[in-house]
């Protein structure tokens, strides 16, 4: 059985990864599994355990690390964030496509282990827009926003380590760009080539 496609959507906090991912998953032709991350950060209003994140204590997170259960993890602005390994292994082995939405440190760790994935860096039009988005979201205090914007300047320098860069100027445009990347990736891993061959045969008939 063929393995699923691994897409890693990454980029600075506030660039719009979650917004773009949710819009992407509403597209009728997208059938990806979403990897729910684990974090030690406190839930925001409306966030649901097991849907947005698995919210755990630092001790619980460190036990997962010690047991080798994390595909990757990073400490970001004072909290742990990481990707449970079992879900990724099982989903890909079952031939299902999976999307990770993670920070830059984590994405580069996954790339070391799974270079066959597609690594997409979502970038803001500029840093001022990034800060405005974080302020507009209204979920972090100003000192945390400043730390996230400061982390972003180092993260944007890592863009060249990715396979693709996508500007999130408008959500619908970013979604279409990512859908094009997914098509290319499916062709690359030979998953839809038969459909194209059938199309060519029909055109030639």
Ligand X SMILES: Nc1ncnc2c1ncn2[C@@H]1O[C@H](COP(=O)(O)OP(=O)(O)OP(=O)(O)O)[C@@H](O)[C@H]1O
Ligand Y SMILES: Nc1nc2c(ncn2[C@@H]2O[C@H](COP(=O)(O)O)[C@@H](O)[C@H]2O)c(=O)[nH]1
Of the candidates 189, 183, 173, the one whose C-alpha atom is nearest the C-alpha of residue 19 is 173
41 binds, among ligand X, ligand Y, none (CB under 5 to 8 A by kind): ligand Y
Q: Determine, following the binding rule CB under 6 A, whether residue 101 of this chain makes contact with ligand Y.
A: yes
Distance, CA of 142 to chain centre: 25
Residue 64 touching ligand Y (CB under 6 A): no
147: left (phi over 0), alpha (psi -120 to 50) or beta: alpha
Contacting residues for 21 by C-beta, under 8 A, at least 6 apart = 9, 34, 99, 101
Q: By CB under 6 A, tell whether 41 contacts ligand Y.
A: yes
Under the binding rule (CB under 6 A), the answer on residue 14 touching ligand X is yes
- Euclidean distance between CA atoms 133 and 140, whole angstroms: 11
Residue 82 contacts ligand Y per CB under 6 A: yes
Of 37, 91, 123, 168, the residue at the interface with ligand Y (CB under 6 A) is 37
Q: Does 106 bind ligand Y (CB under 6 A)?
A: yes
Here's the x/- map for ligand X, 55-94, by CB under 6 A: it reads as ----------------------------------------
List the one residue out of 52, 82, 49 whose CA is nearest residue 68: 82
Q: Looking at beta carbons, which residue is closest to ligand Y?
A: 106
Q: Which does 145 bind (CB under 5 to 8 A by kind): ligand X, ligand Y, none?
A: none
Is residue 117 marked as binding?
no
Task: Pick from 4, 6, 17, 24 the residue near ligand Y by CB under 6 A.
Answer: 17
Residue 30's binding partner, choosing from ligand X, ligand Y, none, with beta-carbon cut-off 5 to 8 A by kind? none
The per-residue b/e assignment along 124-152, b for 16 or more CB within 10 angstroms, e otherwise, is beeeebbbebbeeeeebeeeebebbbebb
Structure tokens at 121: 């860096």
Site for ligand X in 15-34 (CB under 6 A): 15-19
* Chain positions contacting ligand Y, by CB under 6 A: 13, 17, 37, 41, 72, 74, 76, 81-83, 101-103, 105-106
């Amino acid at each position: 059985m063929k393995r699923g496609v691994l897409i890693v959507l990454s980029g600075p906090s506030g660039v719009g990864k979650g917004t773009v991912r949710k819009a992407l998953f509403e597209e009728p032709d997208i059938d990806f599994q979403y990897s729910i991350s684990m974090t030690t950060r406190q839930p925001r209003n409306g966030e649901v355990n097991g849907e947005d994140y698995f919210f755990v204590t630092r001790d619980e997170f460190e036990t997962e690390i010690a047991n080798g259960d994390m595909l990757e993890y990073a400490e970001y602005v004072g909290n742990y964030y990481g990707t449970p390994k079992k879900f990724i292994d099982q989903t890909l082995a079952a031939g299902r496509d999976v999307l990770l939405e993670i920070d830059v440190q984590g994405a580069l760790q996954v790339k070391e282990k799974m270079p066959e994935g597609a690594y997409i860096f979502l970038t803001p039009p500029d840093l001022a827009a990034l800060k405005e988005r974080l302020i507009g979201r209204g979920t972090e205090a100003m000192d945390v926003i400043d730390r996230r914007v400061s982390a972003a300047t180092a993260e944007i320098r890592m863009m060249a380590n990715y396979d693709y860069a996508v500007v999130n100027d408008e959500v619908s445009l970013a979604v279409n760009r990512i859908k094009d990347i997914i098509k290319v990736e499916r062709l690359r891993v030979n998953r839809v080539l038969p459909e194209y061959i059938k199309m060519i045969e029909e055109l030639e008939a």
